[in-house]
A and B are shown apart, each in its own frame.
Chain A
Amino acid sequence: MAQSDVCVSVEKVSKKFARSLKRSFVYGARDIGRALLARGESDELRSSEFWAVRGVSFELRRGHSIGIVGLNGSGKTTLLRMVSGILKPTLGRIQVHGRIAPMLALGAGFKPVLSGRENIYLNLSLLGVAERDIRARYDSIVDFAELSESINAPIGTYSSGMLARLGFACAVHTDPSILIVDEVLSVGDAKFRVKCRNRMNEMRRAGTSMLLVSHSSILIETLSDECLFMRRGKAMMLGNPREVLKAYEEDGLQQAVGRNAVKSIALAERELALDTTLGIRAVTICTKGANDAGYWLCGHPGEIVVSLQCAKLVEDVSVNLIISDLTHQPGETVLFMMSSRDLGWLRLAPGNDEVHLLLPQVGLRPGTYRIKISVSQGGMHDILDVADDIRLVVRDAGLATNCLYYQSRDWAVKGGEVSGVQQISDEADFEDSEEF
Chain B
Amino acid sequence: MIAVRVSLIQKINATFDLSWRLFTHTVGAKYRKSFLGYFWMVAPAIFITLGVTLANRAGILSAGKTLLPYPLFVLLGTLLWQVFAEAVDVAHRAFDGARSYITRVYFSRSAIILVQFYESLVTTLVRCTLVLLLLELFHGLELYGICLIILCFIGSLLLGLGIGAILMPFTLLFADLHNTIKLVLNYGLFLTPAMYEPKGDSFFATVIRCNPVSPLMQSAREAAANVSMSQPLVLTGVLAAAVLTTILGFALVRLVAPIIIERMLLGGK
Contact = CB atoms under 8 A, between A and B. Distances in A.
Interface of A: 17, 21, 24-25, 28-29, 31-32, 35-36, 81, 84-88, 100, 102, 104-105, 108-109, 111, 113-114, 118, 121-122, 125-128, 131
Given A105-B101, A126-B105, 7 more contacts: A17-B266, A81-B265, A87-B262, A100-B106, A108-B100, A109-B98, A126-B22
Given A25-B173, A32-B169, A113-B29, A84 B106 contact: yes
Contacts of A108: 100-101, 104-105
Main secondary structure of the interface of A (DSSP, over half): helix
Q: Across chains A and B, which 7 residue pairs bring their CB atoms closest together, nearest first?
A: A85-B106, A105-B104, A108-B101, A88-B258, A105-B105, A108-B105, A125-B21
B29 A21 contact: no
B69 to A, nearest CB: 42
A25 B263 contact: yes
Given A29-B173, A32-B256, A36-B255, A127 B105 contact: yes
B168 to A, nearest CB: 11
Nearest to A100: B106
Contacts of B26: 111, 114, 118, 122
Contacts of A24: 263, 266
A77 to B, nearest CB: 10
Main secondary structure of the interface of B (DSSP, over half): helix
Interface in B33-87: 33
A93 B62 CA distance: 65
B259 interface: yes
A102 B104 CA distance: 8
Which among B25, B29, B263, B265 has the highest number of chain A CB atoms within 10 Å? Answer: B25
B260 A28 contact: yes
Nearest to B261: A86
Chain B, interface size category, equals 20 to 34
Contact of B262 (A28, A105, A118, A125): A28
Nearest to B21: A125
25 contacts: A17-B262, A17-B266, A21-B266, A28-B260, A31-B259, A32-B259, A84-B105, A86-B105, A86-B106, A86-B258, A87-B258, A87-B261, A88-B262, A102-B104, A102-B105, A102-B106, A105-B104, A108-B104, A111-B26, A111-B29, A114-B28, A121-B25, A122-B26, A126-B22, A127-B105
Which among B33, B101, B106, B252 has the highest number of chain A CB atoms within 10 Å? Answer: B106
B267 interface: yes
B32 interface: yes
A427 B261 CA distance: 42
A86 B102 CA distance: 8
A131 B267 contact: no
Nearest to A85: B106
B174 interface: yes
